[in-house]
Amino acid sequence: MPNASDTRPARRSAGGRASATLPDGAGALPAPVPPPARRPGGRVVRLAALVVGVVLVLAFPSMAPNAYILSAGIVVASYACTATAWNFMGGFTGYVSLGHAAFFGLGAYATGLLVRDLGLPSFVAWLVAGVIVLLVTIPVGIAALRVRGASFVIVSIAFVLILLLVFQAWGSFTGGSDGLVVPRPFPDLLRPEHHRVFFYLFAALLAVMLLAWWAIDRSRFGTGLKAVREDEDKAQALGVPTRNYKLVAYVVSATFTGLTGGMYALWFGDLDPIFQFSIMLGAYMVLMALLGGVRHLFGPLLGAVIVGTGLEYFKLEFGDTQFHLVATALLLGLVVLFMPDGIIPAGIALLKRFGPQDSSIREISAAELLERNRAAAGGPAAPGTGEDAAPRPRTGPDATPDDTEPSEDDR
Amino acid sequence: MSPRMSPRTRTQRALAVAAGVSATALVLSACSGGSDGEGGGGGGSDDPIVVGISLPLTGDFSEPGKGVQRGYEAWAQFVNEDGGLLGRQVELKILDDQSNADRVVQDYEALIAQDEVDLVFGPFSTRLVVPSARVAEEYGMLFVEPAGAAAEVFEQGFENLFYAAPAVADDHYNYLAEHILAMPEGERPQTVAVAAMDDPFAQGTAYGLRDKLADAGLEVVVDEVYPPNTTDFSSIAAKISDSGADMVIGGTQYQDAVNLIVALQQLNYQPALAAFSTAPTNPEFATAIGSKTEGILSPTGYTETASWPSNVDFVERYTALHGNPPGEDEANAFTTGQVVAAAVEAVGCAEQGECQQQLVDWLRNNEVDTVVGPLTWDETGKPQGAHLIQQYVDGEIQIVLPQDAQEADFVFPKPAW
Amino acid sequence: MTGTLLFQSLVLGVLLGGLYALLAAGLTLYFGVMRVVMIAHSAFLILAAYLAWFFNQQTGMDPLLSLVITVPLFFLVGVGMQRLLITRLRPVTLTMMSVLLTFAVALFIEGMIGFVWSGTQRRIQLPYSGASIEFFGARIAVVKLVAFGLAALSLALLYLLMKHSRFGQALRATIQHREAAQLVGIKTDRVAGYGFGLGLATAAIGGTALSLDATIYPSLHWHWIGPLMAIIVVGGLGSIPGAAVAAMVLGVGQSLLQVPLGTTWAQTIFYVALFATLMLRPQGFFGGRLAQRF
C-alpha cells in the first residue's frame, strides 16, 4: 500500500498506462520519481575490473619468476576454490561448516584410489570422485541438517574427525598414515610444466564455480537460500522448501569441494589423512570466505589471495615457530569481532568515513516529499488518507507553529 | 533495505577487487623478483656452496630432527675448518617442515627453484623422504638422505636416491634374529607381542624381526598398529600384558615408545626380551622411563666407539663442540654430508644441472668411507651393510651384537623394569 | 577376549570416563549459560597441562600443587573472556560467531604454547608414574587413580555448588531461562561471567589431572574437542548431569571397544553416538529439563 514515505518510482499498472492511477480505494500513488542518477559507466568499470582480473590470472604463470612461486600460486588457487565452494553453503544459507575439509579429503582420496586401484584415467577418476562425494553427502546432509547453528558446527567438526580416524585406521585400503601416492596424470611433463598446467586447471575449476555461484545468486533458489540465512523459521512459514534447498546447497558445496580435493590429489601426488582431513584447512576456508565477504561473488577469492599468500610467506619465513597459527588466530578474531561482513564492506565503510557523510536516509527532504505526494494525490480525492488529505506542514515556510495535528511524517 | 546494492557500492566493490588483485600480483612478482637475486646459482669459484635441507624441527619428529640438524651443522663446520669443499666454504640453508609431508615438498621446491641451492640433503623420516625425493628427482638433483630406510622408499623408482646408513629397515634386526634363533629351544622366547606405529620405518624394522621369528616357529600373539599421534597406550599395553608374551617388539619412534613402556610398567608386565626402534638411542630415553632401562634392545647404525678413521675424528671434534658424543641421528646426518662431499670432490662440481647426474653416476659405482663404515649401494639406492644391536647394560648403551663388534655380553632375560 | 582383559578394560574405562565427565561438565556449562560453543575449552585444558608440566620441571614439586595457581588464574581468565570478548558479539549471530571466535582463541593458545615451549612432546616423569595397585585381578595405575579422584572430587564440589549455594541456584536459573532469571532479579550478566570462569576452572583441574599420565603437545587439543563435543550433545547441551552420564557411558564404551577394534576405531564411538543422537533424539539422551536443542 502506498504511503507518504514512498520513494520508489511509480510502477506501470496492469493496463499499461504510464501515469499514476488509483486502484480502488487505495491512497494516491506518488508521481514517478526519477531514479538517483547512476554513475555513468558503472557497468563498464565492473567489466573492466573483471577483464583485468582474468588477464592477471591467465598471465600469472608467465609472470611467476620461478617454479616455486608458481606452485605457491597453485596452493592459493586451490584455497580460492575451496573457499568459494564453502561459500555455497556458508554464504547463502549462513550455516557455518568448520569441517568442510572432510569433502576435500574424500574427493582427494576417491580420485587417488580410483586411479591407483581401478586404473581409471586421471580426469575420469576425478569426475567419478566428484559423483561419489555427491552421493555420500546426501545422507550426511540429511543427518547434519537436522540441527542448526552451533550444533551444525559441532556436527561438521565431528564428521571431519571421524573421517580422519577412519582413513588413518583403514590402512589396507587407504594407505593409512603411510600416505597414498597418486600417480601423475602427465608423467612426461617436467615439474614446472606440470605446475603450469595445473594452475590453469584450477583456474578453470574456479571459473566454473564462480559461474555457478553467480547463477544461483540470481535465481529463485538463491533467494530461498538467502531467506533461510536471514530467518529460517519465517522462511519456512512463508513456504520456502527450506529442508530441500539446504540439502541441495550442501550437496553442491560438498561436490565442488570434493572436486577441488581431487584436483589437488592429481597435482600434489601424495595424500596423508592428517592433512586432507584437517580442521585447520576447514578453518582457513571459513577465514578466507569471511575475510573476503561471504555475500560477494569474489569475496572468498579475495580472502584466499590475502590469506593464502600470507600463509605461504609465514610458513616459509617463520616455519620453525608456531607463529602462523597465532597470526591466523588473530586475523580470525579480528574478522569476527570487527569485520564480520568481510573486508570489502569494512573497507568501504572506512573509506566512507573520509568522504561526505550522508545526513539522512533519503535524498530528498521531507518537505519536498510531501509536496510531491500531495501533487500526485492532488486530482481525485484520496479516501485512504481521510482527514489527513491536506495536512498542514509542520516545518518550512508554511508551517503553523501551533499546529498540533500529527503530520504524515509522524506515521 | 534496498533490494540490491546501489550502483555506487557495486562500482566501488569492483574497483576494490581490481585494485586488490593487481596489487597482490604486483607485490608477489616484486617480492619474488627480489629474492630471486639472492639465490645465486653456481657461479663464481669463491661463492659458498649452498646446501638446501628441510628438517622437522617442530612436530612429531622434532627430537630426532634436531639431532640430524646438529649432525649436518657439525659436518659443515668441520668441512669448512678443513678448507671447504672444492676450496669453497659450505653454507647450510635449513627450513623447518614441521614434520609435514606437504610442507616438506614446498620447502624443497623453494630451495631448489627459488633459492637455487647447489646441493640438497635429505630430510628426516621415511614419511617425509618419499615426497621430497620426488621433488628432487623431478628437478634432476642428487638426493642423499639420512633417514628414509623403509622398503617403500626403494620401491618408488627413484634414480637419484641414496640412503646414508648401513642397512634398510627390514634388515635392522638381522643380528638379533640370528642370535635368538641360535638359542637352545628351552631358553628361547616362545611368544612375541608386536606394537608398531603406522609409519613405514617403524613398521619396517618391527616386521622385519617379527617375520623372521615367525618363520622360525615363534608365535605372534599380539600384533597392533597405531597412528602416529597416539598417546594413550593403555589398551594396547593391556592386550600385551594379558597375552603374557615372552618378548615385546616395538616399532616405535620416540615418545610413543616412552608411553608404551610406561603403560607396560603400570601393568607390571615383565617380558624376557624387549626391543624398541629409535627411542633407546635418544639420550633422554632413560630419564623418561624412570631409569628402568636395563636390558632394552635397539638396532643402531652407529656406535661412537667404532674405529673407522673418519669416526674417530668425528667423535673427538663433536664431543669438543657439544660436550657429549654424537648419537645415531647426528651420525647419519654426518654420513650424508660425507657421501655427498666424496662425490663432489671426485667429480669436481657442485651446482644444479648436468653436475647432479654426474654425482649420481659416481656414487652408483663407488664406495665411500664414512663414520659408519664403507658404504655402497645397489641400483635403487639401498645400502649393502647391516645394523648393530645395542643394549642397555649396567645403565650404559653397549653394542652386544654381532660378536666381532661386541662391547658387553648380551643380557637375557631382561631384568624387571 | 579374556575375562581379566575385559575387567581391566572396564576399570580403565571408568577411570577415563571420570576424567571425561569433568571436562564435559565445563564445556556444557558454557553452552548452558551463554549458548556459546567454546571450542577453546580443550585448548585451555592443554594449557593447564603444560603449566603443570612447567611447574614440575621448574620446581620439581608434584604438579598437583600447581592447581593452587592455575585454578584461580583460569577462573579470572574465564570471567574476562566472557566480559570482554563474548559480549562484544552481536546477539543475532552470537552462536555462530562465538564458535569462530573461540576457535580463534584455541588457535592462539596452541600457537603460543608452541612458541613458548616448542612442539616437542612432553611428559611428566613422577616417581610413582609406573606404580600400580592390584584390584581384583586388574591393575590400576596410581596416576590414573589420582586423576580420577581429582575429577570425582571436582564434580562433587560442582554438584554441591550448583544444588546448595545461592550462586549455584542463580546459575541454574540462568541456564534454564535467562529472561525469567532476569525478571526474578538475578544479575545474569555477572552470573554468566562467573559461569564461564567456573567452566575454565574445571579445565584447569582437568588439565592438571591429564598431565599426570599423558603426553602433551600443542595440537593435542584437537584430539579432545571432538569427543568432548560429542559427549555434550549426547548428554544434552547445557545439562551437567547429562554430560557426566554420557561421559561415563562413552568412556567405558570406548575402553571396551579398544580391545577388539583397536585404539583408532574405538575412538569413532563418540561420533557414532553423536550421529545417533542427532537422528533419534537431537536434544540429547540424559539431559532432562535443562537440555537445549541448539
Test the C interface: residue of A151, A228, A286 with most C CBs within 10 Å: A151
- Chain B residue numbers with beta carbons less than 8 Å from the beta carbon of A191 are 135, 138-139
Query: Which of C31, C101, C107 would best serve as a mutation to test chain A binding (most A beta carbons within 10 A)?
Result: C107
Task: Look at A219 and A311; give whichever has higher pLDDT.
Answer: A219
For B25, the closest chain A residue by CA position comes to A56
Which chain B residue shows the shortest CA-CA distance from A37?
Answer: B7
pLDDT in tens, C76-116: 999 998 888 777 776 666 777 788 888 899 989 998 998 88
- C-alpha cell of residue C241: 548431569
State whether residue B382 is helix, strand or coil.
coil
The residue with greater pLDDT, A380 or C23, is: C23
Measure the CA–CA gap between A259 and B304, rounded to whole angstroms: 53
Residue C87 is placed in which grid cell?
Answer: 559480549
pLDDT at A33 over 80: no
The predicted model gives C24-35 an average pLDDT of 84
Q: Going by C-beta distance under 8 Å and a sequence separation of 6 or more, which residues neighbour residue B182?
A: none
Distance in angstroms (rounded) separating the CA atoms of residues C247 and C225: 13
A239 dihedral zone (left: phi>0; alpha: psi -120 to 50; beta): left
pLDDT band for A405, please (50, 70, 90 cuts).
Answer: very low
* B256-307 pLDDT, tens digit each: 898 899 889 888 889 999 999 888 877 778 888 878 888 899 888 888 888 8
Q: Which three cell numbers stand for residue A215?
A: 547463477
A278 pLDDT more than 70: yes
- % chain C with pLDDT above 90: 29
Whether residue A208 is predicted with pLDDT greater than 90 in this model: the reply is yes
| Best of A136, A148, A153, A286 to mutate (most C CBs within 10 Å, chain C) | A153
Is 90 exceeded by the pLDDT of residue B177?
no
Which CB contacts under 8 angstroms, 24+ apart, belong to B82-89? Answer: B84/B49, B85/B49, B85/B341, B85/B344, B85/B345, B85/B350, B86/B49, B86/B344, B86/B345, B86/B348, B86/B349, B86/B350, B87/B45, B88/B45, B88/B46, B88/B47, B88/B48, B88/B49, B88/B350, B89/B48, B89/B49
| A30-39, A363-372, B314-323, C247-256, range with the lowest pLDDT | A30-39
For the segment A42-64, what is each residue's pLDDT rounded down to a tens digit? Answer: 788 878 888 888 888 888 888 88
* DSSP-derived secondary structure letter, B282: S
Average pLDDT score over residue span A128-148: 91
Report the distance separating Cα B340 and Cα B344, nearest Å.
6
**Across the interface, do A181 and B156 touch by the CB < 8 Å criterion?**
yes
pLDDT of residue B310: 87
| Chain A neighbours, 3+ Cβ pairs < 8 A | B, C
Residue B161's alpha-carbon distances to A260, B336, C16, C182, in angstroms, are 32, 11, 47, 72
Q: What is the pLDDT of residue A357?
A: 67
Give the Å distances, CA to CA, from A111 to A45, A106, A118: 41, 8, 10
Is B165 within 8 Å of B146 (Cβ atoms)? yes
Minimal Cα distance from B259: which residue of C? C215
Selection from B91, B74, B103, B93 nearest residue B334 by Cα: B74
Q: Measure in Å the smallest separation between the Cα of C18 and chain B Cα atoms.
A: 16
Average of per-residue pLDDT across A59-72: 86
What is residue C81's predicted lDDT score, i.e. its pLDDT? 87
Per-residue confidence (pLDDT) for residue B289, from 0 to 100: 82
Confidence of residue A201 (pLDDT cuts 50, 70, 90): very high
Query: What's the pLDDT at B34?
Result: 39
Interface confidence, given as ipTM, is 0.85
Cross-chain Cβ contact A96/C267 below 8 Å: no
pLDDT at position A245: 93
Query: What is the tens place of the pLDDT at every residue in B6-18?
Result: 555 555 555 555 5
- Structure-model confidence comparison of residues C19 and B11, the more confident one: C19
Q: Choose among A146, A161, A333: nearest Cβ to C104.
A: A333
Cell 555427491 appears where? A134
The amino acid that residue B35 corresponds to is: S
CA distance C69 to chain A (A): 25
C-alpha cell at position C85: 570478548
Average pLDDT score over residue span C23-50: 88
Closest CB from C12, C125, C255 relative to B288: C125
pLDDT at B46 over 80: no
Interface chains of chain C (3 or more CB pairs under 8 Å): A, B
pLDDT of residue A361: 61
CB contact under 8 A, C271 and A162: yes
Contact C139/B267, CB-based, under 8 Å?
A: yes
* Contacting partners of chain B (3+ CB pairs under 8 A): A, C
Q: What are phi and psi of C265, to 5 degrees?
A: -65, -35
* Residue in the structure block whose three cell numbers are 601393568: B267
Per-residue pLDDT at C71 exceeds 80? yes
B242 touches C: beta carbon within 8 Å: yes
Nearest CA in chain B to A312: B106
Q: d(Cα A278, Cα A167) in Å, to the nearest integer?
A: 12
- Name, in order, each residue with C-beta under 8 angstroms of B32's C-beta and a sequence gap of 6 or more: A64, A65, A66, A69, B114
Q: Is the dihedral of CA A168, A169, A172, A178 positive or negative?
A: positive
C264 to chain B: which residues are within 8 Å by CB?
A: 226-227, 230
Q: Is the dihedral of CA A334, A335, A338, A343 positive or negative?
A: positive
C-alpha cell belonging to residue A211: 559461474
Among the partner residues B21, B97, B225, nearest to A56 by beta-carbon distance: B21
Picking from B295, B230, B223, the residue whose alpha carbon sits closest to that of residue B258 is B230
Question: What residues of C are in contact with residue B98 (Cβ under 8 Å)?
Answer: 119
Are the Cβ atoms of B287 and C125 closer than 8 angstroms? Answer: yes
Q: Over 90: is that where the pLDDT of A275 sits?
A: no
Mean pLDDT of B45-66: 80
Tell me the helix, strand and coil percentages in chain C, rounded to 5.
Answer: 80, 5, 15
User: CA-to-CA distance for B213 and B277, rounded, in angstroms?
Assistant: 17
Q: Do A176 and B198 count as a contact with CB atoms less than 8 A apart? A: yes
Q: Quick one: which of B108, B32, A62, B268 has its CA closest to C139?
A: B268
C131 touching chain B per CB within 8 A: yes
Find the CB nearest A321 among C108, C115, C237.
Answer: C115
- Gap from A297 CA to chain B (nearest CA, Å): 11
Q: Flag whether residue B268 sits within 8 Å of chain C, measured between CB atoms.
A: yes
Contact across the interface for A150 and C31, Cβ inside 8 Å? yes
Mind listing the pLDDT tens digit for each residue in B353-376? 888 888 889 988 888 888 888 888
CB contact under 8 Å between A332 and C104, yes or no, is yes
Average pLDDT for B70-85: 91
Using the Cβ of A188 and the Cβ atoms of chain B, whether some distance falls under 8 Å is answered with no
